[in-house]
Amino acid sequence: VWRWFVLGASRLGFYDEVKELEIQLPTTKIRWTPGKTVIKSILRAVGGRMPDGTFTIPINSSYENLIKIDESKIVYGLGNDGEAVILEGHEFFEGEASYKNEAFNLVVSNKIPLNRTIKDARHPMCSTLSYSSYLPSASVIIVFCNEAWSVLLRTIVSVMNQTPDKLLKEIILVDDFSDHDELHGKLEYYIKTRLPSKVKLFRLPERRGLIKARLAGAHAASADVLVFLDAHCEAGINWLEPLVQRILEGKNNVVVPIIDVIDDKTLEYQYNNVSYEFQIGGFNWNGHYTWIDIPSKELDRIHHSFTSPVRSPTMAGGLFAINREYFWEIGSYDKEMDLWGGENLEMSFRVWQCGGHLETVPCSRVGHIFRTFHPYKFPNDKDSHGINTVRLAEVWMDEYKRLFYLNRPDLRKIEYGNVSERLELRNSLQCKSFKWYLQNIYYDKFISDENVSAYGRVRGNDNMCLDNLQKEEEQDAPLGIYSCHSIIVGTQLFSLSLRGELRREYACAEVLDNNKVMMYKCHGGLNQKWTVTRFGYLKNVETELCLDSANLKSGDTLRVSRCRKLPSQLWKWDHYLET
Ligand code: LR7
Ligand code: MN
Residue 13, burial from CB neighbour count under 10 angstroms (0-12, 13-18, 19+): exposed
ipTM of the complex: 0.99
Which residue, judged by its Cα, is nearest atom 36 of ligand 1? 318
**Which ligand is in closest contact with the Cα of 377?**
1
Please give the helix or strand (H or E) that residue 217 lies within, else none.
Answer: helix 209-220
- What is the rounded distance in angstroms from the CA atom of residue 206 to the CA atom of residue 150? 24
- What is the rounded distance in angstroms from the CA atom of residue 111 to the CA atom of residue 73? 6
pTM above 0.95, yes or no: no
Residue spans of the chain under pLDDT 50: 1-60
Rg (CA), the chain: 28
Nearest atom in ligand 1 to the alpha carbon of residue 176 is 5
- What is the rounded distance in angstroms from the CA atom of residue 374 to the CA atom of residue 376? 5
Distance 567 CA to ligand 2 centre (A): 50
Measured CA distances, 503 to 177, 206, 449, 473, 496 (Å): 45, 46, 11, 11, 6
DSSP codes of every residue in 321-364: EEEHHHHHHTT---TT--BSSSHHHHHHHHHHHTT-EEEEEEEE
- What is the rounded distance in angstroms from the CA atom of residue 175 to the CA atom of residue 143? 6
Tell which one of 340, 368, 388 to mutate to probe ligand 1, the residue whose CB is within 8 A of the most ligand atoms.
Answer: 340
Distance 138 CA to ligand 2 centre (A): 21
Distance 369 CA to ligand 2 centre (A): 6
pLDDT of 555 reads 93
pLDDT of 473 reads 63
Nearest atom in ligand 1 to the alpha carbon of residue 343 is 30
Distance 340 CA to ligand 1 centre (A): 7
Distance 141 CA to ligand 1 centre (A): 13
Q: What SS3 state is found at 120?
A: coil
Which residue, judged by its Cα, is nearest atom 20 of ligand 1? 374
What residues flank ligand 1, with Cβ below 6 Å?
143-145, 147, 176, 209-210, 213, 230-231, 259, 289, 316-319, 339-341, 343-344, 368, 370, 374, 376
Angle between helices 185-194 and 149-162 (to 10 degrees): 20
- What is the rounded distance in angstroms from the CA atom of residue 537 to the CA atom of residue 572? 9
Asked whether the CA dihedral 175, 179, 185, 190 is positive or negative, the reply is: negative
Which residue, judged by its Cα, is nearest atom 43 of ligand 1? 316
- What is the rounded distance in angstroms from the CA atom of residue 179 to the CA atom of residue 73? 24
List % helix, strand, coil for the chain (3-state, nearest 5): 30, 25, 45
pLDDT of 181 reads 85
**Which ligand is in closest contact with the Cα of 230?**
1
pLDDT digit string (tens) for 30-57? Answer: 444 443 333 444 444 444 444 444 444 4
pLDDT of 1 reads 28
Distance 496 CA to ligand 1 centre (A): 36
- What is the rounded distance in angstroms from the CA atom of residue 530 to the CA atom of residue 497? 9
Distance 384 CA to ligand 2 centre (A): 16
pLDDT of 474 reads 62
